[in-house]
Chains A and B, each alone.
Chain A
């Protein structure tokens, strides 16, 4: 959105972008859809059926749950810090939506080459990392604002998760940036798509690290210690009810969209699929068609959704395959395995960029 809005039509168009299509409405719909995919895959892996009755195969079930929670009684505990307590869900929703604005879904800025996010500027990767850390801090605040022992324990555990998984997450995201030589999410993606296939091998390990860390950031099994149901009764969420809980659930779903979208963008080539086929028809003709006409507005989101769905399925599979780890085991595992692994992969990438690629003549 860097182009200066010159005419009223442009302003209207930009508002539409933010509010409707690649923006809030689209992201929210996608969030509810991903929750359905997540629940359905989780259920099928457990040999169950999952959501069934609301809509086609229960596809509207997350929406119904959201509406149902909106209609429930909203309680604030007496001891809680009322204003902070009420602010957390809203801020969390806003932050998660903001995070999604950086994902390049369609080409909103045709003047720049390649697909751009609604918000896209040099250095936005740093902002993304900052915002996602802010979400975790917000969770800690939510736990302490509720002044419930379970909430405080959950908040403390979220803090432990934060210190253990933030570093591998950052390193995993830095690697594509070093490969592309840029700090803007959209630019990284557009550069990586055009770079040589050899980079795919370098991105494998960071991709796995990113998946594991995002599972931790999203607080899902095996890392769901901060709202472990059987231990501390949904931890920091324990005192939230009604509308606030609905907003928190929506924010969590949107964070799932963000995580899956970021994995798609940085590691899986973003909304490009057919362009990778080394035929002139696809790599040149179709690419220009998609980039210049309305075809892109249909094709790019579909490819983005397809790739994100694959990531969501992988995340659900991880959720189904493991038991919950204890917090000390998670911290130990994070510092003994994840951090060295992340540093090692960064090292490999640097070596490859400085020595191996010039030697092999790959650009």
Chain B
């Protein structure tokens, strides 16, 4: 039999218990960030990279671009290294998986707001 105010007890319980809201930018407590989070792209181990361009080829959104190694970079075999245009990245982790030498990584960092596109190119 339907009746009025079925949730009343739950409401009162909710009113006295801790709020479920996470006051996020002020605190990160309660966010439950798991270990394997797919976050910001990282060119983790440049020493291992051969510049084979597989990551560029598999990227579904065309976020990875191979540029010629700049002077401050570690020189790869082919002379190219990946950079990530992070505005296009969909955080699918495929480049990390396809990389034959475990050069790339997605870190657990998830705060990824930038003011311009130039800031979003990850070297």
- Residues of chain A having any CB pair with chain B under 8 Å: 41, 43-49, 52, 317, 320-322
Contacts and interface: CB of A to CB of B under 8 A. Distances in A.
B11 A320 contact: yes
Contacts of B72: none
Given A321-B5, A321-B7, A322-B5, A45 B15 contact: yes
Contact of B20 (A47, A52, A317, A320): A47
Contact of A47 (B4, B8, B14): B14
Contact of B19 (A48, A317, A320): A48
Contacts of B12: 45
Nearest to B4: A322
Contacts of A47: 14-15, 17, 19-20
Given A320-B11, A321-B8, A322-B4, A52 B17 contact: no
Contact of A317 (B11, B17, B21, B23): B11
Contacts of A45: 11-12, 14-15
B15 A44 contact: yes
Range of interface residues on B (Cβ < 8 Å): 10 to 19
Interface of B: 4-5, 7-8, 11-12, 14-15, 17, 19-21, 23
Determine chain B's interface SS by DSSP, over half rule: loop
Q: Which 5 A-B pairs have the closest CB atoms?
A: A47-B14, A45-B11, A44-B15, A49-B21, A49-B19
A52 B14 CA distance: 18
Contacts of B17: 47
Contacts of A322: 4-5
Given A44-B15, A321-B8, A322-B4, 18 more contacts: A43-B19, A44-B19, A45-B11, A45-B12, A45-B14, A46-B11, A46-B14, A47-B17, A47-B19, A47-B20, A48-B19, A48-B21, A49-B19, A49-B23, A52-B23, A321-B5, A321-B7, A322-B5
A216 B58 CA distance: 60
Nearest to A320: B11
A355 to B, nearest CB: 34
A311 to B, nearest CB: 17
